[in-house]
């Protein structure tokens, strides 16, 4: 199964994979149902999750029903348990909206919810994160997860995120991060897709962020909290929800 998923991930462009996944989900959900693991986003149980990864595949991480990964389920639990996202009127901007969140967030009537992306077929507004068409100080909450590692000029993107966030607002800017690295690594001389996948984890990533990611956000003007939310959960729940223990949620404030 690992090789099949890896084949499809590398064969098809992301927008097409998004469309195809809507057809595949019901089949996966039916055949993998069980009670060993639970997706907290929809509460459904499975005997196993699916493998996922463009390079080295991680076993048992992709939910058959919502297609969520570890980071999505962790963020859902954090927003649900630690914020007023699901109860207060908020103006929300969501970059590259994930399928596991999109419909659910749109159904929350108290949210003024806008999605944006340059390429995603399911985004409301097609926009370049480095040149956003939104006014200053507009959004209470900005979700921008696993986007910045794709952006060559991530400083400009961060400045735009800061510009459109309301004073007093907050955001979650998750990225693939190597916490063993002190500094972020980039190398534009690596052009072979297979080699880029090996080095950066995905061929279309332009860097591997280190611990200095948080300080870069602070330099833009954000107040940053490095939230290790799994430290507040018991080990059995971390396994049941298939979370990555020790993953940091970067929560930023303006």
pTM of the entire structure?
A: 0.89
Give burial (CB, 10 Å; 0-12/13-18/19+) of 72.
Answer: buried
Determine the Cα–Cα distance for residues 143 and 125; give it in Å rounded to an integer. Answer: 15
User: Does residue 5 have a pLDDT over 50?
Assistant: no
CATH number of the domain where residue 182 is located: 3.40.50.150
Q: Total domain count for the chain?
A: 2
Determine the Cα–Cα distance for residues 142 and 172; give it in Å rounded to an integer. Answer: 7
Range of the domain at 18: 2-69
Does 57 share its domain with 82? Answer: no
Does 80 share its domain with 202? Answer: yes
Q: What is the mean pLDDT of the chain?
A: 90
* pLDDT band (50, 70, 90) for residue 196: confident
Does 63 share its domain with 87? Answer: no
Determine the Cα–Cα distance for residues 165 and 92; give it in Å rounded to an integer. Answer: 9
Does 53 share its domain with 165? Answer: no
Does 62 share its domain with 86? Answer: no
Residue with tokens 């956000």: 217
* pLDDT band (50, 70, 90) for residue 25: confident
Does 101 share its domain with 26? Answer: no
pLDDT digits (tens, 9 = 90+) for 101-114: 999 999 999 999 99
* pLDDT band (50, 70, 90) for residue 241: very high
DSSP-derived 3-state class of residue 112? strand
DSSP-derived 3-state class of residue 210? coil
Does 100 share its domain with 219? Answer: yes
* pLDDT band (50, 70, 90) for residue 6: very low
- pLDDT at position 155, please? 98
Determine the Cα–Cα distance for residues 201 and 136; give it in Å rounded to an integer. Answer: 34
- pLDDT at position 12, please? 40
Determine the Cα–Cα distance for residues 134 and 211; give it in Å rounded to an integer. Answer: 30
Does 166 share its domain with 222? Answer: yes
């Amino acid at each position: 199964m690992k090789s099949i998923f890896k084949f499809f991930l590398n064969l098809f462009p992301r927008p097409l994979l998004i469309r195809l996944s809507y057809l595949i989900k019901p089949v996966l959900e039916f055949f993998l149902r069980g009670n060993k693991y639970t997706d907290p986003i929809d509460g459904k149980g499975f005997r196993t999750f699916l493998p996922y990864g463009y390079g080295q595949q991680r076993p048992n991480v992709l939910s058959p029903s919502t297609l969520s990964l570890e980071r999505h389920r962790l963020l859902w639990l954090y927003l649900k348990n630690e914020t007023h996202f699901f109860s207060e009127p908020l103006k929300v901007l969501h970059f590259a909206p994930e399928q596991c969140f999109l419909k659910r967030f749109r159904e929350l009537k108290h949210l003024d919810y806008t999605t944006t992306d340059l390429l995603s077929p399911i985004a409301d507004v097609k926009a370049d994160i480095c040149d956003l068409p939104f006014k200053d100080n507009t959004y209470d909450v900005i979700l921008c997860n696993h986007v910045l590692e794709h952006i060559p000029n991530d400083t400009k993107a961060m400045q735009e995120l800061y510009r459109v966030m309301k004073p007093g607002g907050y955001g979650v800017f998750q990225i693939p991060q190597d916490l063993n690295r002190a500094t972020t690594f980039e190398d534009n001389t690596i052009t072979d897709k297979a080699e880029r996948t090996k080095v950066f984890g995905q061929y279309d990533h332009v860097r591997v962020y280190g611990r200095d990611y948080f300080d870069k956000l602070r330099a833009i003007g954000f107040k940053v909290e490095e939230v290790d939310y799994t430290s507040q959960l018991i080990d059995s729940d971390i396994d049941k929800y298939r979370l990555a223990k020790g993953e940091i949620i970067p929560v930023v404030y303006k």
